[in-house]
């Protein structure tokens, strides 16, 4: 049995839903075999979200921790490769804060890599018929903040915990009045399930080319 912590986010930037939490809660309700899943909804607030994640890790003691967030405008499921040590908010968070060029951890490394098999996850998703790719940036907003916080926690205190982050597209109901890509929440949930099962079963990542020129 693999103990898994998955997190989604509350809605932000004036939205009414956040597909990351909608999908994560579906995955937890579905109880995939072999996985003991705890789902936690994080605030979209710098600092607070990291503290909520830390408390959840302490409460659950997971083997695997996967953060999930919405990346509106992206057309596919993206496995994040790297978390960077900077907060630079395009819009205020849900507490009205808008940090610019602030380190997440003062004196911390510039970046951490995901320790999940991101290439194997992309391959498994594509095989399952779900559009997926590797992303080279998780942005500089609350998702990257939580991802960096997770990887810093792992690097400094919990070396056996495996962790990473996935961004998901808008849900269709968020884009009914504009030409923007979306993915049904049930498909996003199926994708998260596939990622968890692939990450559990895969210790050495595939050498799949998934780079980008920008």
Interaction site with ligand PCA (CB under 6 A): 9, 12, 18, 20, 44, 69-71, 139, 141-143
SS3 label, residue 106? coil
* Backbone torsions φ then ψ of 42, nearest 5 degrees: -95, 150
Is 145 tagged catalytic?
no
SS3 label, residue 196? helix
As measured in angstroms, the least distance from the Cβ of 141 to ligand PCA is: 3
As measured in angstroms, the least distance from the Cβ of 72 to ligand PCA is: 8
Closer to ligand PCA by Cβ: residue 18 or 194? 18
**Cβ–Cβ < 8 Å for 198, 50:** no
For the chain, report the end-to-end CA distance as a whole number of angstroms: 39
- Annotated catalytic residue: which of 22, 121, 143, 145? 143
Is 97 tagged catalytic?
no
Residues 6+ apart with CB under 8 A from 124: 194, 195, 197, 198
As measured in angstroms, the least distance from the Cβ of 9 to ligand PCA is: 4
Q: How many CA atoms lie within 13 A of 96 on its CB side?
A: 0
Is 121 tagged catalytic?
no
Q: Which residues are catalytic?
A: 80, 143, 167
């Amino acid at each position: 049995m693999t103990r898994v912590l998955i997190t989604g986010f509350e809605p932000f930037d004036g939205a009414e839903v956040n597909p990351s939490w909608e999908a994560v809660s579906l995955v937890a309700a579905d109880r995939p075999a072999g996985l003991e899943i705890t789902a936690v909804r994080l605030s979209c607030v710098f600092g607070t979200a990291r503290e909520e994640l830390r408390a959840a890790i302490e409460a659950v003691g997971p083997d695997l921790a996967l953060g999930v967030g919405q990346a509106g405008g992206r057309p596919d499921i993206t496995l994040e490769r790297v978390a960077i040590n900077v907060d630079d908010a395009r819009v205020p968070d849900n507490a009205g804060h808008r940090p610019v060029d602030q380190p997440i951890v003062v004196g911390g490394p510039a970046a951490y890599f995901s320790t999940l098999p991101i290439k194997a996850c992309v391959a498994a998703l594509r095989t399952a018929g779900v559009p997926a790719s590797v992303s080279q940036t998780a942005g500089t907003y609350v998702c990257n903040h939580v991802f960096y916080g997770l990887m810093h926690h792992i690097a400094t205190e919990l070396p056996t915990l495996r962790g990473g982050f996935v961004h998901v597209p808008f849900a269709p109901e968020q884009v009914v009045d504009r030409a923007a890509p979306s993915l049904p929440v049930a498909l996003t949930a199926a994708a998260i399930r596939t990622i968890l099962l692939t990450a559990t079963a895969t210790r050495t990542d595939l050498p799949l080319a998934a780079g980008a020129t920008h």
